[in-house]
């Protein structure tokens, strides 16, 4: 790969191209868009966690000022609008597919969680729609609710779906239980740990929004949506929900204000807006109020786990056994089933040589909002299990936690490394990132720092987290064999315009990741064109080739590789044109930094000249088509495996229970890095979300009534600037071996690494083995003072 230097090429911290519009208020988010004649939708939602709908009286609402229409599930059923599907079929331990009860966009007979969609009121203004919606009289017969995943499968628990007896979606296993039992029988010591991975609400700052539009002249629909993957949304809506030919729907995801997974999925609201646009023959707009985001965006995590780690007398890991109950919520969201299985159990080897691993995951339905992928999706849950149990094991075995990890690290000469849980890691160097992190945090000096804290009356702790992540889920054939309903490749189209500028169409979607900059750097560097001459187009199924969107830290490794492949096609075609123009044989034409040269001569043509010739082919090779516009699809050979070590230090005031994160070192191996500034920004944000989970955030449902108790920023504690330290970031580099760029994913690393680092540090400070997240001041205070309390 040519490197055009530190200015705008690969490896440079190029300032972002997208910033100007956001900084000057000229971003174009879905709610910023108004369509001519648009009307507004308000969703009538269930106030009950579980109830039968005995009747809906919409007469008063229909008479309210400004109302255009009020629709219910019956209206959608009459139009044969289908159920929102789950796109990944998990096969249970008995060879049966998971239970997939229907999920209609507007409820038909029963409501299954607080916030479930019952009706939609459509009016001239949003205020009128809301007032009308509040006049829709729903006659509910309340039913007992189950909100606690740990009790969902218990005998006598209220049943969420008739189709899923015992509320069981699936009972799934990975690994050989007999081998693991044999390993445990030989163990010198077994560490056992019970963990709760607390439920989170994603809270992208831009609330979800949708505008559905119908053109009666062409019978075409357009949907503006806050989506991370507009093509996938189009596919699901057309093929599964509406039964509509895909050429009839265009989905546009303009600027999207953060996603973190929550905007991957196909939701009821965008489905209803699209469908209703034809019913009322006007564009139908809906923007979530934050309260709706809390109650009806797909939530994340929510695992209850028991784990056991068997070791020999030297602390060498012999086997790991994990039992997890994963909450699916009331309905299966688009990819919910894959998160606690193929994105979770497969990560349980971590950075270690644990020879045998057995995982059993029971997914259960409850009367809560659907749960699906949230930043990290399964991998933070696996890392939390592993890095917590390793830490506890170190304390029980009285081995330094760094040393215990090192004794079990996969060594550089063991790659490619086949884990016992399906994945094959291509490359890594775990001691290297550990060394660097220890040096950066001054691990040796910790005892002194602890003393200094003690002198101030504070408890100081240090916490390590050595994580691995599997990004860019792939290859398609493998995920297909595991139940995925889609391929997981990416597309790119590289179009030279006649006068030498370049337009890139990518199936990836940027909602904060800075693709417009990073992808432009990649193209500028590869094709040797100025970065300002490169434009990135994404988020519109009307112009971009079918693509799979952005999630799972896949955009550069998969989408960027597709761009690189399309650039290669451009160069190869251009080489033929250049050879013709310079009257040389194709083999003698070299390409470097935007110039084609005939080897050993001073003849050269710029790629811009070639592009012009391709569109004005007056002097042109006979066997080459005009135009310079190439499309490539890239299906990865494997996941990428970023890994690293995060270490944090905390100081606790035992008088108040307030924990301050006083230092944070993150050393990550993301392979080759195109824009370090952007990558570091991704790490910062990930850590903040991980610290949020560990110390602040917690989605709480009342376990009896199923009411959401943390339904606003008053109750759900988002990380503020004052809750976080500045972070110190270091990078190591083992280039990915199987993609053309040598890159790995970086978007989720922080959220994966951070929670166990925090809890390891806090429990270290408190001198205890374990505690559940979030480590709120109250909880920490109780733990810090439990001896004193017990003595009283």
Partner 1 sequence: MPRVSMTVNGRSVSGDVEGRTLLVQFLREHLHLTGTHVGCDTSQCGACVVHVDGESVKSCTILALQADGAEVTTIEGLAKNGELHPMQAAFREHHGLQCGFCTPGMVMSAVDLLKKNPNPEEDEIREWLEGNICRCTGYHNIVKAIQSAASSMKG
- The residues binding partner 1 (CB under 8 A) are 15-16, 18-29, 31-32, 34, 127, 203-207, 255-258, 260, 289-291, 511-514, 677-678, 680-681, 684-689, 712-714, 718-722, 724, 726-727, 750
Shortest distance, position 688 Cβ to partner 1, whole Å = 3
Nearest CA-CA partner of 225 in 159, 166, 284: 284
SS3 for 638? coil
Specify the residue, 206 or 525, whose C-beta has the smaller distance to partner 1: 206
Shortest distance, position 31 Cβ to partner 1, whole Å = 7
The length of the chain is: 792
Which strands form 137-142's sheet, in the order they lie side by side? 110-111, 51-57, 137-142
d(CA 23, CA 599): 47
SS3 for 672? coil
What distance, in Å, lies between the first and last C-alpha atoms of the chain?
Answer: 69
Specify the residue, 49 or 678, whose C-beta has the smaller distance to partner 1: 678
Specify the residue, 15 or 186, whose C-beta has the smaller distance to partner 1: 15
Are the beta carbons of 2 and 592 closer than 8 angstroms?
yes
Shortest distance, position 718 Cβ to partner 1, whole Å = 5
Specify the residue, 483 or 686, whose C-beta has the smaller distance to partner 1: 686
Bond preceding residue 332 cis, omega within 30 of 0:
no
Specify the residue, 380 or 500, whose C-beta has the smaller distance to partner 1: 380
Specify the residue, 472 or 512, whose C-beta has the smaller distance to partner 1: 512
Shortest distance, position 247 Cβ to partner 1, whole Å = 31
Specify the residue, 546 or 718, whose C-beta has the smaller distance to partner 1: 718
CB atoms near residue 182 (< 10 Å): 14
Are the beta carbons of 662 and 166 closer than 8 angstroms?
no
Specify the residue, 485 or 681, whose C-beta has the smaller distance to partner 1: 681
Specify the residue, 29 or 71, whose C-beta has the smaller distance to partner 1: 29
Specify the residue, 229 or 513, whose C-beta has the smaller distance to partner 1: 513
Shortest distance, position 7 Cβ to partner 1, whole Å = 15
d(CA 379, CA 469): 6
SS (H, E, C) 19-67: HHHHHCCCCCEHHHCCCCCCEEEEEEECCCCCEEEEEEECHHHHHCCCE
Instruction: Show the tokens assigned to 469.
Output: 């992540």
Bond preceding residue 757 cis, omega within 30 of 0:
no
SS3 for 278? helix
Shortest distance, position 517 Cβ to partner 1, whole Å = 10
* Residue 251 CB partners (closer than 8 Å, separation 6+): 222, 223, 225, 227, 230, 231, 233, 234, 237, 540, 541
Shortest distance, position 205 Cβ to partner 1, whole Å = 4
Specify the residue, 622 or 714, whose C-beta has the smaller distance to partner 1: 714
Specify the residue, 27 or 627, whose C-beta has the smaller distance to partner 1: 27
Q: Identify each DSSP E strand in 276-372 by its residue range.
A: 284-287, 303-311, 317-329, 356-365
**Residue 741 CA: distances (Å) to CA of 404, 484, 634, 744:** 34, 26, 12, 9
Specify the residue, 175 or 711, whose C-beta has the smaller distance to partner 1: 711
The DSSP 8-state label assigned to residue 84 in this structure reads: P
Nearest CA-CA partner of 119 in 23, 66, 55: 55
Q: Where on the phi/psi map is residue 258: left (φ > 0), alpha (ψ -120 to 50), or beta?
A: left
Shortest distance, position 666 Cβ to partner 1, whole Å = 11
d(CA 489, CA 598): 36
Are the beta carbons of 29 and 539 closer than 8 angstroms?
no
Shortest distance, position 373 Cβ to partner 1, whole Å = 16
Which strands form 629-634's sheet, in the order they lie side by side? 534-537, 502-506, 490-496, 629-634
d(CA 788, CA 783): 10
Shortest distance, position 228 Cβ to partner 1, whole Å = 11
Are the beta carbons of 99 and 161 closer than 8 angstroms?
yes
Are the beta carbons of 83 and 151 closer than 8 angstroms?
no
Specify the residue, 348 or 678, whose C-beta has the smaller distance to partner 1: 678
d(CA 361, CA 325): 6
Specify the residue, 19 or 442, whose C-beta has the smaller distance to partner 1: 19
Shortest distance, position 118 Cβ to partner 1, whole Å = 20
Q: Identify each DSSP E strand in 545-672 by its residue range.
A: 589-592, 595-598, 604-606, 629-634, 643-653, 658-669
d(CA 759, CA 395): 14
Q: Where on the phi/psi map is residue 627: left (φ > 0), alpha (ψ -120 to 50), or beta?
A: left
Shortest distance, position 22 Cβ to partner 1, whole Å = 3
Specify the residue, 297 or 426, whose C-beta has the smaller distance to partner 1: 297
The DSSP 8-state label assigned to residue 83 in this structure reads: P
Give bridge partners of residue 629 from the DSSP assignment. Answer: 495
Instruction: Show the tokens assigned to 479.
Output: 């995920």
Shortest distance, position 513 Cβ to partner 1, whole Å = 7
Shortest distance, position 9 Cβ to partner 1, whole Å = 18
Specify the residue, 262 or 491, whose C-beta has the smaller distance to partner 1: 262
Shortest distance, position 145 Cβ to partner 1, whole Å = 25
Shortest distance, position 253 Cβ to partner 1, whole Å = 12
Shortest distance, position 780 Cβ to partner 1, whole Å = 21
Which element (helix H / strand E) includes 578?
Answer: helix 561-581
């Amino acid at each position: 790969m040519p490197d055009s230097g530190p200015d705008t090429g690969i490896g440079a911290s190029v300032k972002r191209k997208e910033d100007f519009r956001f900084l000057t208020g000229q971003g174009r988010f879905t709610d910023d868009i108004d369509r001519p004649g648009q009307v507004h939708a308000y969703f009538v939602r269930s106030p009950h966690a579980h109830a039968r709908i005995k009747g809906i009286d919409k007469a008063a609402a229909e008479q309210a000022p400004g109302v255009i229409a009020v629709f219910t599930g019956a209206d959608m059923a009459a139009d044969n609008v289908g159920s929102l599907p789950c796109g990944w079929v998990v096969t249970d331990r008995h060879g049966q597919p998971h239970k997939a009860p229907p999920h209609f966009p507007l409820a038909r007979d029963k409501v299954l969680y607080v916030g479930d969609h019952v009706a939609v009121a459509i009016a001239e203004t949003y205020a009128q729609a809301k007032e009308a919606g509040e006049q829709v009289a729903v006659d509910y017969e309340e039913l007992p609710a189950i909100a606690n995943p740990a009790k969902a499968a218990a005998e006598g628990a209220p049943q969420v779906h008739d189709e899923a007896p015992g509320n069981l979606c699936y009972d799934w296993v990975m690994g050989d239980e007999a081998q693991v039992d044999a390993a445990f029988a030989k163990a010198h010591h077994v560490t056992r740990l019970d963990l709760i991975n607390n439920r989170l609400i994603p809270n992208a700052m831009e609330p979800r929004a949708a505008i559905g539009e119908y053109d009666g002249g062409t019978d075409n629909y357009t949907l503006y949506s806050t989506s991370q993957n507009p093509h996938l949304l189009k596919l699901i809506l057309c093929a599964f929900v509406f039964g509509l030919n895909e050429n009839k729907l265009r989905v546009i995801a303009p600027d999207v204000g953060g996603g973190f997974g929550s905007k991957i999925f196909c939701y009821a609201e965008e489905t209803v807006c699209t469908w209703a646009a034809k019913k009322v023959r006007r564009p139908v707009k809906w923007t979530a109020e934050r309260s709706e985001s809390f109650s009806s965006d797909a939530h994340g995590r929510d695992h209850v786990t028991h784990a056991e780690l068997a070791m020999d007398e030297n602390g060498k890991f012999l086997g790991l056994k994990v039992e997890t109950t994963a909450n699916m919520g009331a309905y299966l969201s688009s990819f919910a089933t894959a998160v606690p299985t193929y994105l979770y159990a497969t990560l349980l080897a971590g950075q270690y040589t644990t020879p045998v691993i057995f995982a059993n995951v029971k997914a259960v339905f409850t009367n809560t909002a659907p749960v699906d992928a949230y930043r990290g999706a399964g991998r933070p849950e696996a890392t939390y299990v592993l890095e917590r149990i390793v830490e506890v094991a170190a304390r029980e075995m009285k081995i330094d936690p760094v040393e215990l990890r090192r004794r079990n690290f996969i060594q550089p000469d063991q790659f490619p490394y086949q884990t016992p849980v399906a994945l094959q890691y291509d490359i890594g160097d775990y001691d290297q990132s550990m060394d660097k992190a220890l040096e950066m945090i001054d691990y040796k000096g910790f005892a002194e720092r602890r003393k200094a804290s003690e002198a101030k009356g504070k408890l100081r702790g240090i916490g390590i987290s050595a994580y691995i992540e599997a990004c860019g889920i792939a290859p398609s054939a493998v995920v297909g064999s595991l139940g995925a309903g889609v391929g997981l490749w990416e597309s790119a189209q590289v179009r030279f315009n006649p006068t030498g500028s370049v337009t890139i169409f990518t199936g990836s979607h940027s909602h904060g990741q800075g693709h417009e900059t990073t992808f432009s750097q990649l193209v500028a560097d590869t094709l040797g064109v100025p970065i300002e001459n490169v434009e990135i187009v994404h988020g519109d199924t009307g112009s971009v080739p079918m693509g799979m969107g952005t999630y799972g830290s896949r955009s550069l490794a998969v989408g960027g590789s597709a761009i690189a492949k399309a650039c290669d096609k451009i160069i190869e075609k251009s080489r033929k044109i250049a050879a013709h123009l310079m009257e040389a044989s194709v083999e003698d034409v070299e390409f470097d930094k935007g110039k084609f040269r005939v080897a050993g001569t001073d003849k050269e043509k710029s790629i811009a000249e070639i592009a012009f010739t391709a569109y004005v082919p007056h002097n042109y090779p006979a066997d080459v088509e005009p135009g310079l516009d190439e499309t490539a699809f890239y299906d990865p050979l494997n996941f990428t495996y970023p890994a690293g070590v995060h270490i944090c230090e905390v100081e606790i005031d035992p008088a108040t229970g307030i924990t301050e994160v006083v230092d944070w070192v993150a050393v990550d191996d993301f392979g080759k890095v195109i824009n370090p500034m952007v990558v570091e920004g991704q790490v910062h944000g990930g850590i903040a979300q991980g610290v949020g989970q560990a110390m602040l955030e917690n989605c709480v449902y009342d376990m009896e009534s199923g009411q959401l108790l943390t339904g606003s920023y008053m109750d759900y504690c988002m990380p503020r600037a004052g809750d976080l330290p500045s972070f110190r970031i270091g990078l190591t580099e083992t280039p990915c071996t199987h993609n053309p760029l040598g890159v790995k994913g970086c978007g989720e690393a922080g959220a994966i690494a951070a929670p166990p680092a925090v809890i390891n540090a806090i429990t270290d400070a408190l001198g205890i083995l374990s505690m559940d997240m979030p480590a709120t001041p109250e909880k920490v205070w109780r733990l810090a003072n439990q001896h004193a309390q017990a003595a009283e």
